[in-house]
């Protein structure tokens, strides 16, 4: 039996901070590109509690915002959360600080793609399955999830 007795894998792993990462320009770039005041976030959790896909994410949306504040670019762009986000705006309308979290997620995907971090590739589709998927669906997936 696994160590966690068959429960879902642990989410929101501890943040490993380094001075170098915190001082890098990642947060500034996210603020510039998204236009969002990420420093205003006080971790109320409203965004995550309303997110319809939170159960699928290994890092919750409020925690992503905290990682942005702390400049932890690598932890964000190599994580599944920014790709699972469906841009539904639920988090954005729930934020008491007026942060458009969806715009931040969009920016983070843009930064990940700029850095060549693809989340999806042709080798991940089983050829038998690919034959049944509508072509516009495949094109849409590639446009969102790969460079």
- Interface residues with ligand SF4 (CB under 6 A)? 41-47, 51, 53, 61-62, 65, 85-91, 94-97, 99, 101-102, 105
Nearer to ligand SF4, 32 or 39 (CB): 39
How far is it, in rounded angstroms, from Cα 110 to Cα 124? 21
Yes or no: say if 9 and 59 are a contact pair by the CB < 8 Å rule: no
Q: How far is the CB of 111 from ligand SF4 (least distance, A)?
A: 16
Q: How far is the CB of 15 from ligand SF4 (least distance, A)?
A: 15
Nearer to ligand SF4, 35 or 122 (CB): 35
Nearer to ligand SF4, 68 or 73 (CB): 68
Q: How far is the CB of 2 from ligand SF4 (least distance, A)?
A: 28
Nearer to ligand SF4, 34 or 73 (CB): 34
Report which of 143, 115, 108, 116 is spatially closest to residue 34, judged by C-alpha positions. 108
Radius of gyration of the chain (CA): 16
Three-state secondary structure call for residue 76: helix
* 28 class by beta-carbon count within 10 Å (0-12 exposed, 13-18 middle, 19+ buried): exposed
Q: How far is the CB of 6 from ligand SF4 (least distance, A)?
A: 26
């Amino acid at each position: 039996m696994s160590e966690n007795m068959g429960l879902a894998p642990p989410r929101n792993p501890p943040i490993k901070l380094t001075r170098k990462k915190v001082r890098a320009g990642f947060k500034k770039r996210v603020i510039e590109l998204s236009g969002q005041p990420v420093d205003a976030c006080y971790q109320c959790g409203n965004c995550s509690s309303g997110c319809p896909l939170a159960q699928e994410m290994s890092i919750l949306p409020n925690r992503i915002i905290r990682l942005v504040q702390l400049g932890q670019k690598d932890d964000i762009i190599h994580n599944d959360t920014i790709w699972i986000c469906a841009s539904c705006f639920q988090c954005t309308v729930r934020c008491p600080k007026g942060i458009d979290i969806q715009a931040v997620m969009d920016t983070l995907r843009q930064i990940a793609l700029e850095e060549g971090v693809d989340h999806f590739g042709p080798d991940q589709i089983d050829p038998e399955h690919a034959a049944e998927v509508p072509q516009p669906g495949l094109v849409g997936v590639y446009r969102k999830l790969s460079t």
